[in-house]
Structure 1
Amino acid sequence: MRFVDTIEGLNEIFETDIPKGSVVLITGAPGSLKSGLAFSILSRYLNECDEFGAYITLEQSKKNHLNNMKSMGIEPSDSLLISDFTDCRLQSNMYSGDLLNLIETNIIQHKHRLGDKFTCLVLDSLGALYSLLDTDPQLMRKRLYHLLEPLRRENLTTFLILETADSTGFNHEFEGYLADGIIELGFHTKDNTANRYLKVRKMRASSHSMDSHILTVSNDGLQIYKSTIF
């Protein structure tokens, strides 16, 4: 099973799979299906593999997140562990200094318990993480770098979700520098009709299209297809 075979039409964008151990940034405007894309990729991948993954949520509670995914036809995999850190947002003074350590410890515990079968994870989202870290932005980003490097060494494929202010495009240079891949989601409007789109801006060691593709929600989850509207 390949990551790019998890969503209908995603394998039309990629000629080769997302390399294992990559750090992939999923970025886009509010409502562009960032969480849905990441959750769908991991759940469907894990359903076909004898592996485990983790979804770390700082944005929504586990219950709300699962309800949102089910409303889009995305069913969770039994092999996907959901770590709910949303309580940290209510107690930010207590956790802000140690949040990265808590997240790192959570990931390491999964790795120690599951060994090589623990292969992939999502952090949802960087924006929520940044809002909870009461530290200088440059220091915070250095700490993020030191979190990601051990994940690469452990060959964990990591998806980072980052919300942008609007759909005008990717503009987070630091996160883009850290990432091996960037998947941009957004909205395209033509003739008063708005469509969600997906574009792969880069994916190291992978062959892929850089064209924009339509991203939709169907009864069976997400679908991607080429369109002439762009």
Structure 2
Amino acid sequence: MRGGLVLITPTRTIQRTPTGIPGLDELIEGGLLKSRTHLIAGETGTGKTIFSLQFLLHGVKIGERGIYMAIDEDRENVIRGAEGFGWDVSSLLEKNLLSITQIVPGFAEKFKKKYIEAAVGSVIVGIRQEMMRIGATRLVIDPIAPLLTKEEDLPFTREYIRELVLAIERELGCTTLIVSEVPTGSNTLSRFGVEEFLASGIITLGILRKGNEVYRTLCVRKMRWTAVDPVLYKFRIVRGEGIVVEGPISE
């Protein structure tokens, strides 16, 4: 007992899913929270897609297959872009170690007249089928906004996102990244203002101009049950490798 508080020695360790991103996992005690949903947020061009694919490719290296759900980009363009970056994803697709699927934007709009549970259920069924087909335990939805509905219907959209995230964690049990592209110059963490409250972890990517220097930045804004410092780190994007996190940006 210390100061009137009973200190309990933990009997369970929190399971982690390593991202494989050099310099990141050591900042978050070994990796993302296993079987939980994490938000990757940033303006356009900050490296969100590279981050997401790197997460999946590292999974393949350690025996964890993954699914990349492309929402607003053609599947073939994603494959072509990854190959051009130096990642041999074609062979992984052929071996069913990786899946890249394409979903039509505005998917939820088609189900809007139904109950939200039915709309979410339709997405979950599709993801589960693909997970079972290749045995995936990692999932990326990039980005999440076009999967939904028109932005002016915020009550429906926010409830839809809530139910979707809860259903993924409850029914699929995979470690998930949902990608959110925020408007340029915005201080928000997500498009609809609800994703950050549901996510177990939040990592923001950005671009910082400091004097004559321009830095790519990464910040772990939130990671439940993890001692993280809200420090801004700089990172590089290396062809064929991906994101490499370097030291903190000095004042």
Aligned to 1:96: 109
Give the deviation of 1:214 after TM superposition: 1.2
User: Which structure's residues are more often helix, by fraction?
Assistant: 1
Give the deviation of 1:112 after TM superposition: 4.1
Conserved? CA contact 2:142–2:178, under 8 Å: yes
Structure whose alpha-carbon radius of gyration is higher: 2
2:246 to 217, 222, 225: 225
Structural RMSD (CA) = 2.6
Give the deviation of 1:16 after TM superposition: 3.3
Alignment partners' CA distance in 2, 1:122 and 1:23: 10
Aligned to 1:196: 216
1:55 to 68, 74, 83: 68
Aligned length: 221
Alignment partners' CA distance in 2, 1:167 and 1:215: 20
Structure 1 residue runs without a partner (length 5+):
none
Q: Given the alignment of the two structures, is residue 25 of structure 1 paired with residue 39 of structure 2, yes or no? A: yes
- The alpha-carbon distance between structure 1 residues 68 and 48, as it changes in their structure 2 partners (threshold 3 A), is same
1:161-200 alignment, distance < 5 Å: 161-172=179-190, 173-200=193-220
Give the deviation of 1:102 after TM superposition: 4.6
Alignment partners' CA distance in 2, 1:23 and 1:223: 22
Alignment partners' CA distance in 2, 1:201 and 1:73: 30
Structure 2 residue runs without a partner (length 5+):
1-15, 112-118
- TM-score, length-scaled by structure 1: 0.84
Alignment partners' CA distance in 2, 1:5 and 1:149: 22
Give the deviation of 1:58 after TM superposition: 1.0
AA of the residue aligned to 2:246: Y
1:8-157 alignment, distance < 5 Å: 8-49=22-63, 51-76=64-89, 77-78=92-93, 79-85=97-103, 88-89=104-105, 96-98=109-111, 102-113=122-133, 117-130=135-148, 132-133=149-150, 136-153=153-170, 154-157=172-175
- TM-score, length-scaled by structure 2: 0.77
Aligned to 2:13: none
